[in-house]
Homo-oligomer: A and B are copies of this chain.
Amino acid sequence: MASHQDGYATGRLRREQILTAATELFARVGYRHATVLELAQAAGISRTGLLHHFGSKEALLEAVLQRRDAEDGARFASAQADQTGVAALTALIDLARYNVSQPHLVALFAVLSAEAAAGEHPARDYFIERYRRTVEGARRSLLRAREAGVLAADIDPEQQAHAIVALMDGLQVQWLLDPALDMAGAIRSHLQRLLTVPLPR
């Protein structure tokens, strides 16, 4: 048996393993169809063991989503320092590029957001809030770009913020069906047409 200190580290590692396995399984079969037993088996752990770490399937889903959001949050934090909004918009292109290495996560969000949008779903409030936050972030970047004088004249920041987020979501589904699609390139072209200055790189 491990010492208490080892036990703590082992517990954290096990937690991460469960989250990774759950991300993959939720993505593959959807939230509703994945059972706690299947989730446990995918993580190589007993049903009781899984419920010890995450009290319920709902709690596990929430932890999966929060891990992804924490990663994304870190990605955007530094870009927020740029007052022209261009760095934050550029970070969206970087995110699309990163997502190419994370097909399971991309699939998970595509399936869960659609399931949650389609009706009653434990993650419905989460996605309503997530879209509010994501669209608001894009809107703020566009407003900053306008204040800095680098936004094209005919852009409505509110409407365009929804469009940018929609474009990214929609491209993900097409990319999952055809990995040859250049998501980052399509997003870059779209953002470039909104700005009067060249995007970096």
Q: Does A177 contact B (CB under 8 A)?
A: yes
Interface 0/1 of A162-184, CB less than 8 Å to B: 11011111111110111001100
CB proximity of A166 to chain B, nearest CB, Å = 3
A54 lies within 8 A of chain B by Cβ: no
Chain B residue with the shortest CB-CB distance to A188: B159
List the B residue with the shortest CB-CB distance to A103.
B118
B154 lies within 8 A of A166 (CB): no
- A186 located at the interface, meaning its Cβ lies under 8 Å from any Cβ of chain B in the complex: yes
Is A119 interfacial (CB 8 A cutoff)? yes
Rounded to whole angstroms, the CA-CA distance of A11 and B140 in the bound complex is 56
Chain A interface main SS type: helix
Q: How large, as a class, is the contact surface on chain A?
A: 35 or more
Q: Oligomeric state, in number of copies? A: 2
Interchain CA distance A172-B128 in the complex, whole Å: 13
List CB contacts (< 8 Å) of A95-139 with chain B: 107-108, 110-111, 113-120, 124, 127-128, 131, 135
Specify which chain B residues have a CB less than 8 angstroms from the CB of A120 in the assembled complex: 28
Cβ contacts A39-78/B at 8 Å (1 or 0 each): 0000000000000000000000000000000000000000
